[in-house]
Structure 1
Amino acid sequence: MRIHFSIIMILSAVLSGCAVPQPLPKQALTRADLQSLEQGQEDLSRQMQKIQDNVLLVEARMQDQQQIIEEMKTALAALKVTPAGEKTEPETAEGGGVSPGTALSPTEIYLQAFADYTSGRFQQGIAGFESFISRYPESEYAGNARYWLGECYYSLQQYEQAAQEFARLVEEYPQSNKTPEALLKMSSALLRMEQPDRAGQALKILLQRYPDSSAAKKARQTEPFSTILQNGGM
């Protein structure tokens, strides 16, 4: 019995001396850690945006290729054979013609501009996106082109021009899936220009018009946007 008691005492002493370490309190997570996590989430969100754009562009390119095939079929069907068995040139629509083989489709123009942006060739990207928007303002990708045009200027630290492009996107393409993100990025550009009041106005529009968007969620949860919103009473 005494031996059993002694063993218990020894085990108690050993266990008390080798206590399992307690988990770190939540307070141990520093502001720097939180900012790092938030930055990681923002980077991931930006990457997801690019992936989504690439998927849309691949689908658009496939549609363009299908359209080219259909046009070729139409051109072949339009070939006429004379009584002598000679083939004539295909008829073309008034004012139109067969596009030269080197002509780029709308999707190819967009893809080239987007490739320039992602490769850091921002000036070329600006030229490409501006060309696309001026030639195809009614395209379903015109809003996206305006957004990436703003991103090109932002990357060049031309924040005033970037803010203007984001604002034009909001005005001209309010239904674009890029519009909420444009408002958030416009706010960021205005903050870079030390204009917190205008930045706050952009954030308020974002929350009022697109309250359920991922951009609105980032605005509520990410500094310095969340602080601006709190100071603005929203």
Structure 2
Amino acid sequence: MLRRQRSGQARQALASSLAVGLLAALLALPAGAGLLDDDEARRQIRDLAIKTNERLDTLSKGQIELANQIQALREENARLRGQVETLTYELESARKRQQDFYVDLDGRLRKLEQGPSLDAKPGEESKPLAETPRKPASDPAAETREYESALNLFRANKLKEAAAAFDSFARAHPESALTPGAYYWSGNAHYALRDCRKASEAHRLVVSKWPANAKAPDALLNIAVCQQELGDSKGARTSLEALVAKYPDSSAAGTARQRLKK
């Protein structure tokens, strides 16, 4: 409404200005040349007013079209912003589901790893006494609680605290059956914190010290991912090839084969 009022006011002002200019031009003609008759003067003023109105209409249409385009761009920007927010939420949800899956898988693997050790206790009586001194110093139940506490931090997305907790566990319990998992999850936490160097260091310890551990294939795959992100494409390819060669039947090896094809 305000735009129409302004457009009408501008049209009237321009028409009045042109009319005044035309009358001034007529009055300025030499006396011998004669004056145009009233009909001719009115016709010229009318034609001039029509042209002026046409120009104003064109200008108004252009302004309206521009305003419509700006509004359309605003709506498109809002739509894209909504899509970005939706995709961000879905990505975060997928990451959380994957994180929960790996935490659950870690628990299952630990149960499998701890099973044989419990069954082997009766047979340990025949082992030499020199092999037993370290075991009384460890408390498996306390270690499990400490490990679970670190996992809960990771599950709660408290990545910095989780990385510190896993690192502390690994230093305090170097001989624990849970230590490979501690290094593995420490590497994952550091990677999520965008610290690929520390992540690679933790995963390399898993691969080098516990190559038979169930987490070793995934640790080697994570090393390749970090190498790629750090710009070491050659090193990443070498790690992927080593993964396929050492752990051909693992799911991580399947992922490595797909990446090697690219």
**So what's the TM-score if we normalise by structure 1?**
0.56
Tell me, in whole angstroms, the C-alpha distance in 2 between the residues paired with 1:59 and 1:220.
28
Q: Decide whether aligned partners of structure 1 residues 60 and 109 sit closer, same or farther in structure 2, where only a CA change above 3 A counts.
A: farther
Q: CA deviation at 1:227?
A: 3.2
Residue pair 2:237, 2:260 contacting (<8 A) in 1 also:
no
1:51 aligns with 2:88: no
Residue 182 of structure 1: how far off its partner (Å):
0.5
What's 1:116 paired with? Answer: 153
Contact between 2:109 and 2:214, CA under 8 Å: does it hold in 1?
no
1:180 aligns with 2:217: yes
Contact 1:110–1:129 (CA<8 Å) still a contact in 2?
A: yes
Report what 1:190 is aligned to: 227
Alignment partners' CA distance in 2, 1:45 and 1:212:
21
> Residue in 1 aligned with 2:195?
158
Query: Which residue of 1 is the match for residue 236 of structure 2?
Result: 199
Q: CA deviation at 1:121?
A: 1.1
How far did residue 54 of structure 1 move?
Answer: 2.8
Distance 1:141 1:57 in 2: 8
Mapping 1:4-43, distance limit 5 Å:
none
2:102 is matched by which residue type in structure 1?
A: Q
Instruction: Give the whole-Å Cα distance in 2 for the aligned partners of 1:164 and 1:111.
Output: 22
CA contact (8 A) 1:190 1:199 kept: yes
CA distance in 2, matches of 1:136, 1:174: 18
Q: Does the aligned pair in 1 maintain the 2:100–2:155 contact within 8 Å? A: no
- Report percent identity of matched pairs: 27
Partner residue of 1:219? 256
- What are the Cα deviations for residues 87-144 of structure 1, in whole angstroms up to 9, with x where unaligned? xxxxxxxxx99x9xxxx81111101111111211112112211121112112111111
- Structure 1 range deviating more: 45-54 or 191-200: 45-54
Which amino acid counterpart does residue 227 of structure 1 have in structure 2? Answer: K
Bigger fraction of residues in helix: 2
Name the aligned partner's letter for residue 120 of structure 1. Answer: N
Q: Distance in 1 between matches of 2:252 and 2:109?
A: 20
Letter of the 2:249 counterpart: D
Larger Rg: 2
| Structure 2, gaps ≥5 residues long | 1-93, 119-135
RMSD of Structure 2 on Structure 1 (CA): 3.5
> 2:243 is paired with a residue of what secondary structure?
helix
Cα distance change of structure 1 residues 122 and 52 upon mapping to structure 2, 3 Å threshold: same
Q: How many residues align?
A: 152
Distance 1:59 1:206 in 2: 23
| 1:42 Cα deviation after fit | 9.6
- Quickly say closer, same or farther: Cα 1:44–1:117, change in 2 above 3 A: closer
- For 2:113 and 2:257, the matched residues in 1 are separated by 34
User: How far off is 1:44 after superposition?
Assistant: 7.1
Stretches of 4+ aligned residues off by more than 2 angstroms: 41-50, 54-61
Amino acid at match of 2:105: Q
In structure 2, relative to structure 1, the CA distance for the partners of 1:42 and 1:156 (3 Å cut) is closer
Give the counterpart letter for 1:136 in structure 2: H
Q: Describe the shift of the 1:125–1:199 C-alpha distance in structure 2 as closer, same or farther (beyond 3 A).
A: same
Q: Are residues 118 and 44 of structure 1, via their aligned partners in 2, closer, same or farther at CA, if it must alter by over 3 Å? A: closer
